[in-house]
Amino acid sequence: MRAVLTGGAGFLGSHLCDRLIAEGWDVLVLDNLVTGVATNLAHLQGHPRFQMQRMDVTKFIDVPGPVDYVLHFASPASPVDYLKLPIQTLKVGSLGTHNTLGLALAKKAKFFLASTSECYGDPEVSPQSEEYWGHVNQIGPRGVYDEAKRFAEAITMAYHRYHGVDTHIVRIFNTYGPRMRLNDGRALPNFVHQALTGQPMTVYGEGQQTRSFCYVSDLIDGIYRLALSSEHLPVNIGNPQEITILEFAERVRKHFPNAPPVVFRPLPQDDPKQRCPDIRKAQRLLQWQPKVGLEEGLGITLDYFKKSFAAEKK
């Protein structure tokens, strides 16, 4: 199998790249490094089945030779990034998805879209199943990401229905693990960065909004199983163990001696009050479920952050 993987220098993309190569695939990564980091793939440089090309996938994509699979993971993925890069976020979700689908069609390749639980917006039901259509403010500041991914899902299904492209869609819920950027603005990197630098740990609102955190190896396993499946409609992949943000902050604090206190700030606009996946479809179709508990995953991830932070200070 030869795969083209967009966004392969990102947090999730780089872990997926590792899995595909471990499974014997050849991988060509396309990334413009706007939010991805080349060092995430440094360990693969020189590998005979790995290539990387710097490319903006919102422009026409030309890949010589046969391609068996196109996996579209390129996009800013944290609120800090997509609020700073709103137009780029909309373009990579629309033009980028169109271009990668066009590549898959031209090469007669399978296509895989990395979508998001943000398609559900600030949900009115919990847990969120794939049949739920969402509660999204399309003109709010977060709408640039939510609607980019919703459009990406729509055009992916259109290519499947009209052109017969073999497509797959994963809706990714909050994921954490090594290679996250310490300054990317999501809850865990935020808390860790503040703890490492002695700043108060910022919790928004009263901290009663919930999230569910999936360790990256579990997510990648679910993605790989879905990529090999015959399912074309979206599938949730995430960990259904729900936790409040305040409790999550306290869990992180326990890993730091002399941890700074928690401070409360106003909730950002359209911040989801609940985020929890219904994973029954993944369990049934893929025989998948998460295996790594929060404490185990946090231990590995915080160790990575501490080592990275110490190396940067040298």
Count of residues making up the chain: 314
Helical H runs in the chain?
11-22, 79-84, 86-107, 143-158, 187-197, 216-227, 245-253, 280-286, 294-313
Pairing of strands 69-72, 50-54: unpaired
Pairing of strands 50-54, 26-31: parallel
Rounded to a whole number of angstroms, the CA Rg of the chain reads 19
Helical H runs in 208-278?
216-227, 245-253
| Residue of 69, 120, 145, 176 marked catalytic | 145
Q: Which amino acid, one-letter code, is at 281?
A: K
Q: Do residues 268 and 140 touch, judged by C-beta distance below 8 A?
A: no
Catalytic (active site) residue 304: no
At residue 27, φ and ψ (nearest 5 deg) are: -130, 125
Catalogue the E-assigned strands of 125-180: 167-172, 175-176
Look at the alpha carbons of 87, 93, 98, 102 in this order and tell me if their dihedral is positive or negative.
Answer: positive
Q: Do residues 234 and 169 touch, judged by C-beta distance below 8 A?
A: yes
Active-site positions? 145
